Amino acid sequence: MKTWGGAHDAAWERVQEELATVYLSDGLPLVPPTMERVSVMLAANGYAADEEIAMLPPGFETATAGDIAICAVMAGCKAEYRPVLVAAVDALSDMSFNLVGIATTTGSAAPIYIVNGPITEKIGLNAKNNAFGSGHRANATIGRAMTLILQNIGGAKPGEVDMATLGQPAKYSCCFAENTEESPWTPLHVDRGFAADASVVTVVGISGTGEVNDSDSQDAVGLAQTFAQSMLIAGISGGSGLLGGGEPLCLLPPEWAAMFHRDGLTKQQAKQAIWEQAVLPIEKLAPAQRKHRMAAASDPNASVIRVAEKADDLMIVVAGGVGRKAAYAPTWGGTTKAISREIKLRK
């Protein structure tokens, strides 16, 4: 490695201190939101700075186009990423998402952002190898900008309003595209009622992710069993009497999806195969937890707890590259619904 050959920016450290002092930082260095940079961000998308986008919980402050542009600049976004941010902000403001709860809980809940449609290729959003990880500017900065928006516009300041006991890495950034190129099934946004050629962002409130590794099973039956058993985490049981918030996110790599498809399973049938086996006997819970959860359950006499009320509540998204490593992302147990919004491009 070599040092950068450009001119030293003596003001950089001072800007970082100034932004941190007024609590605008997420802890990582920020791009200074100069008027020139913010103006470019706004002009590229045809927004006026004072244009209102949404009322954003938990502080119920108005998120303007100018506010979003400032956060986008600080996060390092390119101007062409901004339509994704606008749609995601609108999705977060939907009361069914319950951002008030997600942004203030002592739990580890955080929004993640799944993008579908033509815009993913246009802006270089990664859907393949290391989809949740580093290495792609669009993924990293869109997710980071949304965290800054939630913190600096919505008011979810860590340790003040955001009271997470431990938190999770998605509180910094988690944005990725679905790998529709290698998926044998209809994409998420089509399942959710949008046109195939639409660009859509889906916001999901998750309480973390866990790797699901099955390189041994050679059929859909075995894969479904492995995934189902990996979902049975007693500590994520929610107030609804379910394990989690009731819309579990099943993130399958292309090799898993291909095996389900090879064995003749549609996406709905794959959901059913997983859901039927994803049950935890009630006696596996600690006594006090058992009493509390069954009091909240729709059927207090049930002998098992399910991950969702019905199979179709599971969300299957194909993502990632080569390998037999899937992931499970339980939705937050405090009640949340995934929300999708079309990403609209202005001329």
Q: Most distant CA pair in the chain: distance in Å? A: 71
For 57, list phi and psi in degrees, rounded to 5: -65, 165
Q: Which residue is it, tokens 């942004």?
A: 103
Strands 339-342 and 200-206: antiparallel
pLDDT in tens, 126-156: 999 999 999 999 999 999 999 999 999 999 9
Q: What is the mean pLDDT of residues 57-73?
A: 97
Four-point Cα dihedral 44, 192, 245, 139, nearest 10: -30
Q: Which residue has the higher pLDDT, 181 or 234?
A: 181
Q: What is the mean pLDDT of residues 40-56?
A: 92
228: tokens are 């189902």
Q: What is the mean pLDDT of residues 259-278?
A: 98
At 333 the pLDDT is 85
Q: For the chain, what percent of residues have pLDDT higher than 70?
A: 98
Cα gap 221→92, rounded to integer Å: 36
At 347 the pLDDT is 63
Strands 249-252 and 325-329: antiparallel
At 239 the pLDDT is 63
Domain ranges of the chain: 12-177+200-207, 208-331
Strands (DSSP E) contained in the chain are: 52-56, 61-64, 110-116, 175-177, 200-206, 210-213, 249-252, 279-281, 304-306, 315-318, 325-329, 339-342
At 17 the pLDDT is 95
pLDDT in tens, 230-266: 999 888 866 677 888 779 999 999 999 999 999 999 9
- Judged against a pLDDT cut of 90, whether residue 326 lies above it is answered with yes
